[in-house]
Amino acid sequence: LSAMERDLKLAPGQAEARLVNEAEAGTRAGMLRNTLGDRFAGAWVSGATSAELTVATTDTADTAAIEAQGAKAAVVGKNLAELRAVKEKLDTAAVRTRTRQTPVWYVDVRTNRVTVQATSASAATAFLTTAGVPGEEVGVRVSSDQPRVLEDLVGGDAFYINDQARCSIGFSVTKDDQQGFATAGHCGDPGATTTGYNEADQGTFQASTFPGKDMAWVGVNSDWTATPDVKAQDGEKIQLAGSVEALVGASVCRSGSTTGWHCGTIQQHDTSVTYPEGTVNGLTETTVCAEPGDSGGPFVSGVQAQGTTSGGSGDCTNGGTTFYQPVNPLLSDFGLTLKTTSAATGTPAPQDNAAADAWAAGRVYEVGTTVSFDGVRYRCLQSHQAQGAGSPASTPALWQRV
């Protein structure tokens, strides 16, 4: 809480109130998203304590339903699916053209448009022309910032790859009987060996994806034990309870082996970022600072895992922007179970569409997904990996009976 007060310039007591409000807002936003269907255009929180929830819709007639949930209605021109379709055109264009002059693009739900960050207006225009996207559909933010991945080739804490590069441990995970941790994909290739902060043998990269995504996981030897702990401020530890995705505008904190514990807010999800090594899609942009060596470290909101540090610009002296790889896609892609205060080890349920729709612990559920549990149908309100002690019947913040 003290780091949130420091980095977000909050008064005593506001940080705690903010976390409570953000957790509650996520449930209301999920319920309204399911109610609005294809008219939904995004949701975000605002204010010093995140007390105001705004939900965007394309239909004025939805205003009463939104306000009945204690939220502010924003009537806009495009729904979320339409905005994502525009961004997908830019993602496709980035595969066939260089985008170093347009390194970042994303869906900005607060302005109801896709935004491109470019070094100049002409660079943005050229990128949009290549993508076949009309200029009036996209906002342009001119900036000289050039995101970079945040690994380091100097000694320090955390873990080392092939006795050279240094990155930070993200979250403890399990797969069958194998323990390990999630980290950034750019930190190492499959088969790369790792040593710990104490230079003792640690493990091996089991899988890694970069660019495209920025995710990896390391399987560790029997000398290391997976825990739900994340290092926080002044030697304190946070114990993770799950991986419920936070809303735009919510507070988020990061731990890293170079700069320690810093906090900020979520600017937007589903952000595409071009690094010198290539483009990574599906990242989340934040106002949290980070520096080389912090890569792979955990982002958390309250006691919920959010993602692993990917890259950014700036530093923790002057401030900056940092992107993280969301944790739920990482868990789903690699078939991992997040180590939490309630999670049991084991193999998550298959993530393909052909799987039975019965709820299962370990499965990653997206907003809007429907499941059956004890003969009752439920719809997911917030993206998360299901925990063993968190069935739909016992977690109304995550599931709505239908």
Residue 362 CA, distance from chain mean position? 18
Catalytic position from the list 243, 272, 295, 313: 295
CB within 8 Å of 26: residues ≥ 6 apart: 244, 245, 246, 247, 250, 381, 382, 397
CB within 8 Å of 163: residues ≥ 6 apart: 193, 195
- For residue 59, indicate whether it is catalytic: no
Catalytic position from the list 7, 152, 214, 294: 214
- For residue 342, indicate whether it is catalytic: no
What is the three-state SS of the chain? Answer: CHHHHHHHCCCCCHHHHHHHHHHHHHHHHHHHHHHHHHHEEEEEEECCCCCEEEEEECCHHHHHHHHHCCCEEEECCCCHHHHHHHHHHHHHHHHHCCCCCCCEEEEECCCCEEEEEECCHHHHHHHHHHHCCCHHHEEEEECCCCCEECCECCCCCCEEECCCEEECCCCEEEECCEEEEEECHHHCCCCCEEECCCCCEEEEEEEEECCECCEEEEEECCCCCCCCEEECHHHCEEECCECCCCCECCEEEEEECCCEEEEEEEEEEEEEEEECCEEEEEEEEECCCCCCCCCCCEEEECCEEEEEEEEEEEECCCEEEEEEEEHHHHHHHHCCEECCCCCCCCCCCCCCCCCCCECCCCCEECCCCEEEECCEEEEECCCEECCCCCCHHHCCCCEEEC
Catalytic position from the list 50, 108, 152, 186: 186
Rounded Cα distance, 225 and 235, in Å: 19
- For residue 214, indicate whether it is catalytic: yes
Rounded Cα distance, 24 and 252, in Å: 15
Contact predicate 267/286, CB 8 Å:
yes
Active site residues: 186, 214, 295
